Chain A
Amino acid sequence: MGKHRLLLAGALTCALAGVVAVSSAGGAHKQRGVSGKISIIAKWTGDEQTAFEAVLGPFKTANPGVDISYQGAGDNTPQIVATAIAGGNPPDIATMPQPGTMADFAKKGSLKSIAFAKADIAKHYTSFWVQLGTVNGKLYGLFFKGSQKSTVWYNVKQFKNAGVKPPSTWPQFLKVAKTIRASGEKAYSIGGADGWTLTDLFENIYLRSAGAAKYNLLSKHKIKWTDASVKTALKLMAQVVGDTGNIPGGKSGALQTDFNTSVSNVFSNSPKAAMVIEGDFVPGVVASSNPLKAITGYNVFDFPSINGSKPTSVGGGDIVTLLKDTPAGRALIKYLATPQAATIWAKRGGYSSPNKDVKPSAYKDPLQRKAAAGLVKAAVFDMSDLQPASFGATAGQGEWKLFQDFVNNPKNVNGITAQLEAAAAKAYKK
């Protein structure tokens, strides 16, 4: 980048700062609260953007001197934020999709610590969520929107036809699937065209069969993917994905069905399968086209316990981070940590808050309420989100591809674990 351009940018910034300083000096005496400009780049678009703007409403009312500009950037948020930083114009606040990405940004020095809000966050969140937002001992991230990934959604009519009840243990779960098959239906809808649905299934099985301690070690690559515990979990996973007679379209059906179709396969009046194993966001995917009603048409149960494992769940979520340390930015972070802010979105639906002080009554949908309760108590975070993205979150390579290969050949436990280990070793070395 040329020196002249930097100079020009610098001059412009000074001029702008001057304007802002003048204007805020004029109004500051009359107004309560903070003032200034806040630019936000976040993942939420469409309905989610409307909901988040509603969340900002009370903050704007309390701080009329603040001017907020919002940009919804969807799944490309990290790329857009990175470009904005490289261009010397970072937003004040941005969301990060994964702790791994947040850590990358924090280590490059792009994020500002939000330690000033630590007391507020610690008051409303369990230490699990505080720890997840921490990099090298400093707090950077606030989990404003969460997702609970340990749920199984099912079609009530098909369960009734097969005469089965939601299972609570793994053997019961397999037996339910077998009974559904005997009734002439398919049990599992697998959205394996999207690799992340498969990693989520694996993570749930691994958490229950190996325990949270090992889970956390594996997510940091402190134990190898060739570990016996991984093989055990894969063998359990093969009992589901290898039961190809019980999946619509069999093996290739499992691999070519994307996540959205895997949901509509179950949420339908003429369903193709009885169960879809994914997080609390499942009904949201078919929100506008769902012919079924909650509880009477579709329902949810917790991912079954394996070998007597205690109730536990895998959590995920969008992280709010601060890139410019301004009084207005600080105030907004503090506001977003309050249960009041989260309650606004909870009331609108399609949202689970990791904030433990959001009252269950805030969720109008009883199933959402149940999922949110699980989220507050989440024991581990989505493993593939904690890993380097090239291993845990890229289509066509790393975990996503190798789990798809595993669905293609569920007997090949040793081969897959060796390949997973090789890919992980390469990704962590970088």
Chain B
Amino acid sequence: MPGRWRGPAVALGFLLPALVFLGVWIVYPAIRTIIRSFYDRDGTKFIWIDNYKSIFSTPTITTAIKNNAIWVLVVPAMVTAIGLVFAVLTERVSWRLAFRTVVFMPMAVSLFAAGVIWRIMDQQDPTRGALNAGLQVVHDEFSPPGNLQGASPSETTLTGSAKTGFVLKTPLKPGGVALLGLTGIAPEAVPKGAQQAAAPTPSSNQIGGVVWRDFKPGGGTPGKVESGELGLPGVSVSLKDANGNGAGSATSGPNGAFNFDGVKPGDYHVEIGAANFRAPFAGVSWLGTKLITPSLIIAYIWVWAGFAMVVIAAGLAAIPRDTLEAARTDGATEMQVFRRVTVPLLAPVLTVVFITMLINVLKVFDIVLAVAPGSSQASANVIALAMWRTAFGGVNDFGVGSAIAVFLFVLVLPILLLNVRRFKREA
């Protein structure tokens, strides 16, 4: 080999393996994707930019672009801010290693697995989802569910709603009996100690009544106390006179019977109070179409906050102590030290975190697929998911799919260039 070729040949020899790998797995697919994006669904007809036009005319894809914009605006800033706060606050506490390990832990879980965890935590049913279970405890403290939750009148003689309570439509005179039949109560929900329902026989200065589960297998006859139907004990009922003023209250016994004593002549209404029917906490619909994107963002921040914290903490450790001391000696408060000294000195690190998150967020995919149930995936759509759905997830349109991929690439490109230039400058 002639001498002047030896240098380049050796260089090429060393570079060749990397070049081959990059060529086969990066350059060729990229070029192929760009070409493919100008062809139709079957890949046979050249259709110029029609695929790109259809990106902006397909509602599911435009939703994806809007959602991605929200992600870009919120997530990098939040992750950087939270990471900074954690790093600074834990810098001088003795248990910082433990704290940082815990915050960093989600990074050790794959993003998809993290998504599955959040999918379960976000369940609406408080018996399934941890978030709603927590909220339920608070909710029930202030507004405990009634003992007749979910119940409704068996007949139209009772009017009202679960929110207002139910009133017997026909007025009663002393000596009358109120039949308050309710359905929609599961056998397990009937209080223990309940006995066969029985209507009382009130005397002439009493108004009596019975509140009972007006259901037996097959339905039974609504409005009639039949054998096999249990009374509902512990239900608070009240008596209202013709003017709607309270005229007495009572609580039903084991057979569902109750009596109002010392009732003066006149017309009265019997009422089951709304408190009995207060519904249990139904749960926040974290995974519904309205809250899905915020829920996803929370999950994503949960995963990435640890990364930001660790990187920023490393940057923090590298800040010269004497600069901070000098500021303190000059009489700066801790807040001023943080804002005027620490943050500017950390700026390069913060930029790295911010840009890394920006690129990550533009490509966000797996957490959306894992957390969002099918019914809200259209509302949660992001560009990378739209690309995958279009190309592989049933539509099988590689033309439009490639066009979305190129579109995403074009979005990421300026940030990448920025990053490369920064690296060069620092080097």
Q: Contact residues of A with B, CB < 8 Å?
A: 76, 78-79, 82, 108, 160-164, 179, 181-185, 192-195, 248-250, 252-253, 255-256, 258, 389-390, 393-397, 400-401, 404, 407-408, 430
Contacts and interface: CB of A to CB of B under 8 A. Distances in A.
Contacts of A404: 374-375
Given A78-B396, A258-B374, A430-B41, A252 B124 contact: yes
17 contacts: A79-B392, A164-B217, A181-B184, A183-B183, A184-B186, A184-B189, A192-B375, A249-B125, A255-B375, A256-B123, A256-B375, A258-B373, A258-B374, A389-B396, A396-B389, A397-B395, A407-B375
B363 interface: no
B183 A184 contact: yes
Nearest to A191: B374
A76 B393 CA distance: 9
Contacts of A192: 375
Contacts of B185: 184
B218 A163 contact: yes
Question: Secondary structure of the A side of the interface?
Answer: helix
Contact of B285 (A193, A256, A393): A256
B95 to A, nearest CB: 39
Given A195-B375, A256-B376, A389-B396, 8 more contacts: A183-B217, A184-B185, A184-B187, A248-B125, A249-B124, A252-B288, A256-B288, A404-B374
Interface in B388-421: 389, 392-397
A161 B218 CA distance: 8
A395 B374 contact: yes
Interface string B115-153: 000000001110000000000000000000000001100
Given A163-B217, A182-B154, A183-B186, A390 B288 contact: no
Question: Secondary structure of the B side of the interface?
Answer: loop
Nearest to A261: B128
B277 interface: no
A250 B280 CA distance: 13
A407 B378 CA distance: 15
A181 B151 CA distance: 10
Tell me which of A76, A184, A195, A407 has the highest count of chain B C-beta atoms within 10 A of its own C-beta: A184
Contact of B381 (A76, A252, A253, A396): A396
Contacts of A162: 217-218
Nearest to B122: A256
Contacts of B282: 249-250
A389 B184 contact: no
A18 B392 CA distance: 37
Contact of A395 (B283, B288, B393, B396): B393
Contacts of A389: 394-396
Given A193-B373, A256-B288, A184 B378 contact: no
A78 B381 CA distance: 24
A252 B286 CA distance: 10
Contacts of B392: 76, 79
Contacts of B186: 183-185
A390 to B, nearest CB: 4
A401 B283 CA distance: 24
Contact of A256 (B213, B287, B381): B287
Contacts of A407: 375
Contacts of B396: 78-79, 82, 389-390
A70 B189 CA distance: 53
Interface string B376-390: 111001000000010
Given A163-B217, A179-B219, A256 B124 contact: yes
B219 A182 contact: yes
Contacts of A182: 154, 183-184, 215, 219
> What 10 A-B pairs come out closest when comparing CB atoms?
A163-B217, A184-B186, A394-B394, A163-B218, A193-B373, A396-B378, A182-B183, A255-B375, A390-B395, A404-B375
Contact of A184 (B42, B125, B215, B397): B215
A192 B154 CA distance: 30
B100 interface: no
B219 A163 contact: yes
Contacts of B217: 160-164, 183
Contacts of B393: 394-395
A76 B391 CA distance: 12
B160 to A, nearest CB: 16
Nearest to A164: B218
Nearest to B391: A79
A78 B396 CA distance: 9
B183 A256 contact: no
Given A256-B288, A390-B397, A397 B378 contact: yes
A3 to B, nearest CB: 16
Contacts of A397: 60, 378, 389, 395
A102 B387 CA distance: 24
A397 B59 CA distance: 9
Contacts of A183: 183, 186-187, 215, 217
B216 interface: yes
A253 B41 contact: no
A198 to B, nearest CB: 9
B375 A394 contact: no
Nearest to A388: B395
A195 B218 contact: no
Interface in B286-334: 287-289
Contacts of B150: 184
Contacts of B394: 389-390, 393-395
A401 to B, nearest CB: 5
Given A182-B183, A389-B396, A430-B41, A395 B389 contact: yes
Contacts of A78: 396
A249 B396 CA distance: 34
Tell me which of B60, B125, B287, B389 has the highest count of chain A C-beta atoms within 10 A of its own C-beta: B125
A108 B41 CA distance: 12
Interface in B345-396: 373-378, 381, 389, 392-396
A181 B154 CA distance: 11
A193 B374 contact: yes
A289 to B, nearest CB: 16
A255 B187 CA distance: 27
A155 to B, nearest CB: 13
A163 B288 CA distance: 35
B360 to A, nearest CB: 23
A304 B397 CA distance: 39
A400 B184 CA distance: 32
A181 B215 CA distance: 10
A162 B150 CA distance: 16
B206 to A, nearest CB: 31
Nearest to A82: B396
A200 B48 CA distance: 39
A123 to B, nearest CB: 35
